[in-house]
Chains A and B, each alone.
Chain A
Amino acid sequence: MISKISHLRLFLPAVLSCGAILFAGGCDNSIHPTEVLPPLEASSLDANAGNWRMIVLSGPAQFTVAAPSAVSSPTYQAELSAIRTAQSQLTSAQRQAITYWSGGGVLRWNQITRELVAKFNLPPAPAADGSYPVPDPENPFGDPNFPFANPAYAARAYSYVSAAQADALKSAWYWKFQHNRPSPAKVDPAVNALMPVSDLPAYPSEDAVLSGVTVEMLKVLFPAAVEEITQKAAEQRNAALWSGKASASDIAAGLALGKAVAAVFVARAGSDGLRTAGGNAALWQSLADAAVARGEIPWISQESPARPPMLPNYGQVRTWMMTPAELIAERPEPPPSTSSDEMAREVAEVRRVVDNLTRDQLAIALKWNDGAGTYTPPGHWNDMAAEYVRDAQMSEVRTARAFALLNMAMHDAAVGCWETKFYYFNPRPSQLDPRIKTPIGLPNFPSYSSGHSTFSSAAATVLSYLFPEATTSLAAMRDEAAISRLYGGIHYPKDIEGGKVHGARIGSYTLRFAQQDLSD
């Protein structure tokens, strides 16, 4: 017997599904994976940027860019012809590349660097015997990949990319205004300007300078990503050509200059102390012994199996704006003794907060967690800075300066903070009271002082100088990032206070450089 089907009833389950789909927001799964960057139309050419103070280069003319051929020369005319031909056959992929890079080369490379950090920010997995393999720069594709782009490594990586870009572009600006050759779209009415083309001289091409300097830095910092980095760099140069912004000789000269500048920074990176930052078993033990000798409970790894501390010698890595003596002089006062009543109160406070955590506090802890697999706290501040920079419509050279200042301050903050952490070797709250459970991952290095607080304070100091109108909200973000570590149950209030003061002091060194670099 086949039952008679009422159509109304048949459709009830279907109607319910549809209603649910509507309720669920139309099952809208469209998301925008990257920041939208409008075509960059710089509010100023920054024609004097060639005179801005260099970070590492001896001066803008350390590398010479020979004079280009005249616009009337057959060589240059042939280059124009090649652009016209390319423009007549643009594919949609090529047009997309133009749109992508028209958002600004420095901003795009900053995004790419954040992605590389997130990609490589994974700690090595333990081997079967409980040991941890060390990422090997000579075998970057192995397991584990090189690098483990933890916050300290990432702070340094962002700073090298940004500082090298800044010096390379200052040099490029110097030569641009020495040679004064306009862009193809300005010279030849038959060449379309498919990106905003300004009166900025095109020789050497700033896009090619950026591609050359960045690709060489990133290849050293993230060698296992060589393929994607190289492709992006080539795309940037092509986009400059296809868009009528630069000719083949503009690009060749820019690429050569970018690579030459990169070599100086690569050499510096090779001898800045990172290679020995991981230390060895004897060093790890000596740090614990020193804490015991001071009458303190030493930090221990709470990971299982116990993991060596993250880059214990990172405090000896070379800074950008501080001498080693200055770094030591700025080290915060000691934390409360692990046996003091004051420390007992600190521990109790962490436990109270974690056991009574509100949903809003958890949201703040998660918002700023920036742990394994993310672009790290320095990446988070770059993410925020990118929005201010985008809205300010700065020239490429001024954008590079902004990121260089931000990232040099955060690198120096990382070095200063790591020096402090491993000097005091102070245990985490959950070590002193195992009842403290953390709503975010527990970092595998000593507690005092808070890295987030130090990074954020240094970053807010520099960004408030660059974007004074945002000072109040930057301070609020700094404070929220800092307190998020208490909500996360991984830092004492004293770690946070100490880190914030320390970060501001470290940031002031970069600030002094910025105020005197002749860019204002």
Chain B
Amino acid sequence: MRTPNTEASISRSVRVIVRGALVVLLSIVAVPPLSAQAADDGIVMPRKTLSVGLIYGRESWNEYWEGGLKRTNANLGTVTTQSFSIVGHYGITDRMTLVSMLPYVSTQASEGTLHGLRGVQDFTVAAKYRLLTTPFTQHGTLSALLVGAAAVPASDYTPDFLPLSIGLGSRRASTRFTLHFQSHGDWFLHGTAARTWRNQVKLDRVAYYTDGQLYLTDRVAMPGVFDWKISTGFRKKRVYIPVSLVQQRTLGGGDIRRQDMPFVSNRMDFTKAEASVMYGLTVPTDFAVQFGASTTLNGRNVGKATALTVGAFHTFRF
């Protein structure tokens, strides 16, 4: 704190290089999804199949929850977050799929004077393992999956300019358990839950006030996160249409105080409804497109966001 930022900037450069190297390394190790579209679905790729996709997402909100109080803020207007994500799924075996994702994110507020931010966000890699598949009742098949995932910020973005930061800047690890029931007809039922551990975040400032206390440090302890999701829908050879209810609960953290800015370790909770359609094209083969939408039903310290996604995937078989 007694020296200007030279030292911090050197260590930041080193961190960026280390992270960059790691991202490259992990990208080589973890190849990228088609019909398998996310770490939390019930689908594993066939062995030696690679799916690569590009997803565009646009999320916006003009109301947010300041603690439990839903409000608007004329100094933000509508906050829009756009992202381009590269996703990859690779079937190592018929039971195990590696999933990875890297988004480029940009933020913007329609009103007020605050500057939007943009940059590469967090690199995620996950291993999805099908524990078992078994006939269940006379109607279908039940699968159980275990997923381990890790994410690391892939650039040196600041998490200290919410709601316009592009991410929370925390390294994290999670374990997920999924049950997926596929009927002999074409519908499915799916439930998944995960616990995420998040590492502390380092700010560019040496003091902050949150959750009723002044912290005289640049380190922020990040509470863990629990999330669950139930989905149902239709799945046939070329078509996959899930409709889901998602809930996230942050296991600690303070509220945004009255007329304060959000803070990285806030208790960010939400319940969302999601729906998407994925369709495998016949021409060209091995191509699939995906459209998704979600809306926030309830929340705490988050925006009441509506999101749309459009994605395209290509599958390679080796």
Contacts and interface: CB of A to CB of B under 8 A. Distances in A.
Contact of A3 (B8, B133, B146): B133
Contact of A24 (B1, B112, B148, B172): B172
A35 interface: yes
B261 A24 contact: no
Given A17-B175, A24-B172, A143-B258, A366 B4 contact: no
Contacts of A471: none
Given A437-B116, A441-B114, A10 B158 contact: no
A418 B150 CA distance: 50
B75 A17 contact: no
B171 interface: yes
Interface string B147-170: 111111000101011000000000
A3 B199 contact: no
Interface string B1-16: 1111100110010000
Contacts of B12: 359-360, 363
B5 A364 contact: yes
A489 B115 contact: yes
Given A13-B148, A124-B259, A303 B75 contact: yes
B220 to A, nearest CB: 7
B205 interface: yes
Contact of B199 (A24, A359, A364): A24
A384 B1 contact: yes
B208 A374 contact: yes
Contacts of B261: 372-373, 441
Interface string B200-216: 10011111110011111
B218 to A, nearest CB: 9
Contact of A367 (B152, B198, B204): B204
A508 B249 CA distance: 54
B259 A122 contact: yes
A442 B259 contact: no
Interface stretch (A113-121, A186-194, A408-416): A113-121
A437 B203 contact: no
A441 B117 CA distance: 14
A443 to B, nearest CB: 11
Given A23-B150, A367-B205, A16 B134 contact: no
Contact of B149 (A20, A115, A123, A439): A20
Interface in B92-114: 93, 95-96, 111-114
Nearest to A121: B209
B28 interface: no
Nearest to A118: B209
B209 A373 contact: yes
A32 interface: yes
Interface residues on chain A, size class = 35 or more
Given A29-B199, A34-B216, A373-B209, A14 B2 contact: no
A375 interface: yes
Contacts of A476: 3-4
B219 interface: yes
Interface string B79-94: 0000000000000010
A329 interface: no
Nearest to B214: A115
Contacts of B8: 363
Contacts of A5: 131-132
B204 A363 contact: yes
B127 A13 contact: yes
Nearest to A30: B221
B279 interface: no
A383 interface: yes
Contact of A13 (B1, B93, B146, B204): B146
B237 to A, nearest CB: 22
B256 to A, nearest CB: 10
A206 B4 CA distance: 36
B235 interface: no
A369 B161 CA distance: 11
A17 B174 contact: yes
A224 to B, nearest CB: 13
B258 A27 contact: no
A354 B113 CA distance: 12
Contacts of A305: 74
Contact of A477 (B2, B222, B257): B2
Nearest to B164: A439
B305 to A, nearest CB: 21
Contacts of A366: 158, 160-161, 203-205
A31 interface: yes
A125 B67 CA distance: 14
Interface string A54-98: 000000000000000000000000000000000000000000000
A227 interface: no
Interface string A361-384: 011101111101111000110011
A29 B221 contact: yes
B75 A373 contact: no
Interface string A1-19: 1110100011011111111
A123 B152 contact: no
A144 interface: yes
A143 B117 CA distance: 33
Contacts of B4: 364, 473, 476-477, 479-480
A433 to B, nearest CB: 11
A380 B132 contact: no
Contact of B129 (A12, A354, A364, A479): A12
B9 A360 contact: yes
Given A362-B158, A383-B206, A476-B4, A28 B200 contact: yes
A439 to B, nearest CB: 5
B209 A3 contact: no
A230 interface: no
A305 B111 CA distance: 11
B96 A367 contact: no
B289 to A, nearest CB: 29
A338 interface: no
A33 B220 CA distance: 9
Contacts of B160: 366
A147 to B, nearest CB: 14
Contacts of A10: 129, 131, 146
Interface string A295-331: 0000000111100000000000000000000000000
A13 B147 contact: yes
A21 B3 CA distance: 32
Contact of B207 (A13, A363, A375): A375
B173 A24 contact: yes
Interface of B: 1-5, 8-9, 12, 74-75, 93, 95-96, 111-117, 125-135, 146-152, 156, 158, 160-161, 171-175, 197-200, 203-209, 212-217, 219-222, 257-261
25 contacts: A13-B127, A17-B149, A19-B150, A20-B171, A20-B172, A24-B199, A28-B200, A33-B217, A34-B214, A114-B207, A115-B213, A118-B209, A122-B258, A144-B259, A303-B75, A360-B5, A366-B161, A366-B204, A368-B205, A375-B207, A375-B209, A437-B114, A439-B117, A441-B114, A473-B4
Interface of A: 1-3, 5, 9-10, 12-21, 23-25, 27-35, 111, 114-115, 118-119, 122-126, 143-144, 302-305, 354, 359-360, 362-364, 366-370, 372-375, 379-380, 383-384, 387, 430, 436-442, 470, 473, 476-477, 479-480, 489
Ordered nearest first, which 3 A-B pairs have the shortest CB separation?
Answer: A20-B150, A13-B148, A24-B171
Given A23-B152, A370-B205, 5 more contacts: A13-B127, A13-B129, A25-B199, A31-B219, A122-B258
